[in-house]
Amino acid sequence: MSTPVVDSVSNAAATPGKEQPYEALGLKPDEYARIRELLGRRPTSGELAMYSVMWSEHCSYKSSKVHLRQFGQKVSPEMTKNLMVGMGENAGVVDIGEGWAVTFKIESHNHPSYIEPFQGAATGVGGIVRDIISMGARPVAVMDALRFGALGDPDTARVVHGVVGGISFYGNCLGLPNIGGETRFDPVYQANPLVNALAVGVLRHEDLHLANARGVGNKVVLFGARTGGDGIGGASILASDTFSEGGPTKRPAVQVGDPFAEKVLIECCLELFAGGLVEGIQDLGAAGISCATSELASNGDGGMRISLDEVLLRDPTLTAEEILMSESQERMMAIVQPSKLEGFLAVTKKWDVETSVLGEVTDTGRLVIDWRGETIVDVDPRTVAVDGPVYERPVAYPAWLDQMQENSAATLPRPADGAGLRKDLLHLVNSANIADTSWVTSQYDKYVLGNTALSYPDDGGMVRVDERSGLGFALATDANGRYCYLDPYAGAQLALAEAYRNVAVTGATPVAVSDCLNFGSPENPEVMWQFSRAVEGLADGCLALGIPVTGGNVSFYNQTGDVPIHPTPVVAVLGTIDDVGRRVPSGWQDAGDNLYLLGATALELDGSAWAGVVHGHLGGRPPAVDLGREKALAGLLAAGAHEGLFNAAHDLSDGGLGVALVEGCLRFGVGARIFLDELLERDGIDLATALFSETGGRAIVAVPREEDVKFTRLCEGRGYPVLRIGVTDAGPASGAALDVQGAFSIPLDELGAAHRAPLREAFGA
């Protein structure tokens, strides 16, 4: 083995003509030229490593930035009044009252989860949880929005077992309850599953921490797991450039997670925060030390000097470039006052967390990194972390879209008799995307921490924040790729509306949004058009609802072969509730309650579950969006929940009223007798439309008889359409059924068996 050549700054200046593998690292020729211009010389291999990874699509948002700006521009005072930290930090922070704040974020780990499903999904959870800790918060729950290929495809089982196993392994071992999410199947995700992990944390206002390196002379401290060769990806190219034979072998590009190390790190960080021992903090995720140092320095006094020799290594043969790029998990970087360093080290020692001081904050405006006696990086950190390239990618209206939109599902044959309706409803209940997903969720701990007030299968998850007052929050995630495919602007707004409604039915009031925007290649102008329309729809939608986007993530290049996935903007909505004791479940609990349908129903079957499942059809235009109506419905639901008028409330979405009724019955095994004549007459629709249309702004509520008058008055006062459509009927013991009078009756046993079967048959009991 030959001695590695240290590519120092002086060496770079002296060898301007050295060829560098910038293209293999993903940089374009003009980007490489820009780096040379910024530095006034060629970059060292360490600098090249930093720029290549920080200027990647994943870290720099170079294709999406020009569109994402709308989230900052389309803002009203109503949206910012409770916002403590907005987009751009590790995660947004929302004031929820009583001195408490909530921080939450959803992020993708799609590509690693296809290559290595178990570790890809596990480290997805680990990464998003560290973002939450970085804000000074205690993580209190996780959720995940998952999309896989066709249920019957053999490769789907490989990915599902790995992803669910990885989330279960990591999340359970961290002691964070998994309170909900989504599991969807569609062939468009066959070779490109979506694994979007959400984490949420709580903190007292005064505990807020930000990722900045302020205070000249303050120490830069790396703590947590040792730095190893995992997740290096492109750096191995540089390694092979500087090492000859006998050098390190190619290492896994997917990181390996150790939830035990992360659990200890969480407790250690919280003790450090409580002791006031940290000035600034940043987690190490994508781009590892490159990202943490350049971001901390950019956000602070602008300078930092560190020595890579101080980094504790798992593998002493790592090169400087590999150390800079390593994505080893469970590491954090803190800025610590010299006078507090001793206290800091005492806490990390207590938790057996390895710690090393790498250097200190300076006011030079330069990020300087030394290794083996040479300076190998000397850059303006803002050019690495902030002022990366920005692209206005070309957009093109998809050539196929008009034809697709003309092909409406309204022309499909709809069953008119009871037997046909019964068959279609059972078909839906037995289909991959409506089926019971407890095969997945029963592998997650929902109890730990003892504050879970709602979780799957309720419409949203809910967690208590304050044990004395009962203050809490609710969360739901939603996205309908089929709608977005037909109209990305409307589709994004429908995802927002559904998540918003799912929070509202729990009794909480929606207050903030995080999004994970999953799309195909930004270099495909039609995909870029979908992206721009979806972002515009979401930004306009948030403005209309008066709730801000607090952060999120963009994932491009999601495609199977050359075919992009359906545009899938996953929207997470956070709501607050002043007492979780007033929460409302999604199914009826007692016999004898009146069931009311809130909202009107129109013939809107385009993109519906019914069209897809029964007819294999996708075409037309998604249901009309009316965010004013959504806001009015949410207001009504919150008011009703506050007065304790509901025994249940359930949002209508995929599969329409029919599926909502089934889910309402199956939640606690209580049946229902439904009469729809009045609805058909009022809305001028047929029975199939009443049962399967996916018109927005609708929910079913179960109202105990003694609250009937109050409830009716509430609806009248707010002028919201409401109709009594039935009563809850008979509990589990007495042969309960869903009985749609004049049409069909289905025993709950039969519905339950159909609902449970698909995932269990595909993946094992």
Q: Do residues 456 and 445 make contact, with C-beta atoms less than 8 angstroms apart?
A: no
4, 175, 389, 546: which one binds other proteins (CB under 8 A):
175
374, 445, 626, 708: which one binds other proteins (CB under 8 A):
445
Question: Counting contacts by CB under 8 A, is residue 165 touching other proteins?
Answer: yes
The number of residues that bind other proteins (CB under 8 A) is: 38
Pick the piece of the chain touching other proteins (CB under 8 A) from 222-230, 372-380, 450-458, 634-642.
Answer: 450-458
Binding string, residues 466-505; x marks residues near other proteins by CB under 8 A? -x--------------------------------------
Whole-number Å distance between alpha carbons of 350 and 348? 5
Whole-number Å distance between alpha carbons of 121 and 181? 14
Instruction: Label residues 220-237 b or e (16+ Cβ within 10 Å = b).
Output: bbbbbbbbbbbbbbbbbb
Comparing CA positions, the residue from 615, 623, 642, 620 lying closest to residue 707 is 642
19, 37, 206, 352: which one binds other proteins (CB under 8 A):
352
Provide, rounded to whole angstroms, the least separation between the CB of residue 658 and other proteins: 24
Binding string, residues 45-64; x marks residues near other proteins by CB under 8 A? --------------------
Q: Do residues 656 and 708 make contact, with C-beta atoms less than 8 angstroms apart?
A: no
Question: Counting contacts by CB under 8 A, is residue 444 touching other proteins?
Answer: yes
76, 244, 442, 741: which one binds other proteins (CB under 8 A):
442
**129 contact partners, CB below 8 Å, separation of at least 6:** 139, 142, 174, 176, 199, 262, 266
Q: Is 67 a catalytic residue?
A: no
Burial of 523 (C-beta count, 10 Å sphere; 0-12/13-18/19+): middle
Report the residue number, 607 or 640, with the smaller CB distance to other proteins: 640
Pick the piece of the chain touching other proteins (CB under 8 A) from 143-151, 152-160, 448-456, 546-554.
Answer: 448-456
Whole-number Å distance between alpha carbons of 697 and 674? 20
Q: Do residues 174 and 262 make contact, with C-beta atoms less than 8 angstroms apart?
A: yes
Provide, rounded to whole angstroms, the least separation between the CB of residue 366 and other proteins: 39
Question: Counting contacts by CB under 8 A, is residue 82 touching other proteins?
Answer: no
Question: Counting contacts by CB under 8 A, is residue 735 touching other proteins?
Answer: no
Q: Are strands 671-674 and 722-729 parallel, antiparallel or unpaired?
A: antiparallel
Burial of 350 (C-beta count, 10 Å sphere; 0-12/13-18/19+): exposed
Tokens encoding 432: 């991959």
Comparing CA positions, the residue from 237, 203, 197, 33 lying closest to residue 112 is 197
Residue bearing tokens 């869903």 = 738
Provide, rounded to whole angstroms, the least separation between the CB of residue 448 and other proteins: 5
Question: Counting contacts by CB under 8 A, is residue 209 touching other proteins?
Answer: no
Provide, rounded to whole angstroms, the least separation between the CB of residue 44 and other proteins: 38
SS3 83: strand
44, 110, 113, 172: which one binds other proteins (CB under 8 A):
172
Report the residue number, 46 or 587, with the smaller CB distance to other proteins: 587
453, 565, 611, 736: which one binds other proteins (CB under 8 A):
453
Whole-number Å distance between alpha carbons of 731 and 747? 12
Which H helix or E strand runs over 490?
helix 488-504
The DSSP 8-state label assigned to residue 451 in this structure reads: -
Q: Do residues 478 and 472 make contact, with C-beta atoms less than 8 angstroms apart?
A: no
118, 169, 596, 711: which one binds other proteins (CB under 8 A):
169
SS3 72: helix
Provide, rounded to whole angstroms, the least separation between the CB of residue 646 and other proteins: 13
Which H helix or E strand runs over 157?
helix 154-174
Binding string, residues 565-594; x marks residues near other proteins by CB under 8 A? ---------------xx---x---x-----
**646 contact partners, CB below 8 Å, separation of at least 6:** 507, 584, 637, 640, 701, 702, 703
Q: Which of residues 230-269 bind other proteins (CB under 8 A)?
A: 258-261, 263-264
Neighbours of 66 (CB within 10 A): 15
Question: Counting contacts by CB under 8 A, is residue 451 touching other proteins?
Answer: yes
Residue bearing tokens 């977005």 = 484
Report the residue number, 87 or 449, with the smaller CB distance to other proteins: 449
Question: Counting contacts by CB under 8 A, is residue 452 touching other proteins?
Answer: yes
Tokens encoding 338: 């010299």
Residues in the chain, total: 765
Pick the piece of the chain touching other proteins (CB under 8 A) from 165-173, 278-286, 326-334, 719-727.
Answer: 165-173
Backbone angles phi, psi at 405, to 5 degrees: -70, -25
Comparing CA positions, the residue from 533, 540, 565, 539 lying closest to residue 552 is 539
Report the residue number, 709 or 733, with the smaller CB distance to other proteins: 733
Q: Which listed residue (67, 109, 650, 755) is catalytic?
A: 109
Q: Is 109 a catalytic residue?
A: yes
Question: Counting contacts by CB under 8 A, is residue 457 touching other proteins?
Answer: no
24, 66, 150, 173: which one binds other proteins (CB under 8 A):
173
Whole-number Å distance between alpha carbons of 35 and 39? 6
Q: Do residues 527 and 67 make contact, with C-beta atoms less than 8 angstroms apart?
A: no
Report the residue number, 166 or 599, with the smaller CB distance to other proteins: 166
Report the residue number, 208 or 448, with the smaller CB distance to other proteins: 448
Report the residue number, 66 or 448, with the smaller CB distance to other proteins: 448
Report the residue number, 317 or 589, with the smaller CB distance to other proteins: 589
Provide, rounded to whole angstroms, the least separation between the CB of residue 419 and other proteins: 34
Report the residue number, 322 or 458, with the smaller CB distance to other proteins: 458
Question: Counting contacts by CB under 8 A, is residue 345 touching other proteins?
Answer: no
Q: Do residues 759 and 439 make contact, with C-beta atoms less than 8 angstroms apart?
A: yes
446, 615, 642, 718: which one binds other proteins (CB under 8 A):
446
Provide, rounded to whole angstroms, the least separation between the CB of residue 226 and other proteins: 15
Residues marked active site are found at: 58, 109
Task: Provide the binding-site residues for other proteins, judged by CB under 8 A.
Answer: 165, 168-169, 172-175, 258-261, 263-264, 351-352, 441-453, 464, 467, 580-581, 585, 589, 668, 731, 764-765
